[in-house]
Amino acid sequence: MSELTQYAILFALAVGIVGLVLSLYALARAIGRNKPEPGKDVPATAGQLSRDPVWVRYHARYYGYALLFLAFDMEMAFMYPWAVVYRQEGLVALLDMGVFLAILFLGLLYGWSQGALRRQ
């Protein structure tokens, strides 16, 4: 199979996915009920109206937790394919993963120094 054929298949799949999503959206809009009510646009928690504005609910310290989670989540996402090809690549793959883990460790140290791991 040539590269052009592979790109054509990839493009056809992308167009098919976009077409499926748009058709499902159109179908939902066509057969779904749209009942405008004034209470739908009001932020509520547990059935009661919220007294606080929506944008101040979450403290900024949660962004540090989210960034650390993403860093270690990406670590696992990259370690699985690395483990699959480790035997073929050998020492080069081991050194590459060592550099990758060192960079993640530096991110962990930075988060620790900024207090992202402190329990509050």
Domain that holds residue 25: 1-35
Average pLDDT, the chain: 83
| Residue 73 and residue 19 in one domain | no
pLDDT at 29 over 80: yes
What is the band of 34 on the pLDDT scale with cuts at 50, 70, 90?
Answer: confident
64 shares its domain with 24: no
CA–CA distances in Å: residue 83 to residues 13, 47, 77, 92, 98: 29, 48, 11, 13, 13
Specify if 52 maps to a domain: no
Q: Is residue 71 part of a domain?
A: yes
Which H or E run includes 46? Answer: none
Does 51 map to a domain?
A: no
Q: In this structure, is residue 3 part of a structural domain? A: yes
pTM of the full structure: 0.46
Number of domains the chain is built from: 2
- Residue 92 belongs to some domain of the structure: yes
In a domain, 47, yes or no: no
